[in-house]
Amino acid sequence: MVAAAFGGVTWLAGAFLLPLVMKSAADGWVVAAGLGVAVAALVGLWGQSWATREPAANPSDAAAGDRSVTAAGDISGIASTGDGATNTQYR
């Protein structure tokens, strides 16, 4: 995906966009390559964040048993099930 982004942006910028504003073709391709690298870096960062994201909570992961509590993330505070409070400090 990163290579496709680099190649696509570099080709589009170098062949179509930059010749309209730059007189030197060599300089235009250097700028086009720089744009391609920038877009490829953004695509790489997006891909990395997508691949390492936390999975969505699954409703089937609900706590079992009477008066159970299920929560995601860090819990700091009181988790009450109605019959008494329990102070939870998970860090």
Q: Rounded CA gap, 32 and 18, in Å?
A: 7
Q: Which range of residues forms the domain containing residue 32?
A: 2-48
pTM over 0.95: no
Residue 10 lies in a domain: yes
Residue 22 lies in a domain: yes
Q: For residue 89, what pLDDT is reported?
A: 59
Q: Rounded CA gap, 78 and 19, in Å?
A: 64
Residue 79 lies in a domain: no
Kindly report, residue by residue over 4-59, the tens digit of the pLDDT.
999 999 999 999 999 999 999 999 999 999 999 999 999 999 999 999 988 766 65
Residue 87 lies in a domain: no
Residue 25 lies in a domain: yes
User: What is the count of structural domains for the chain?
Assistant: 1
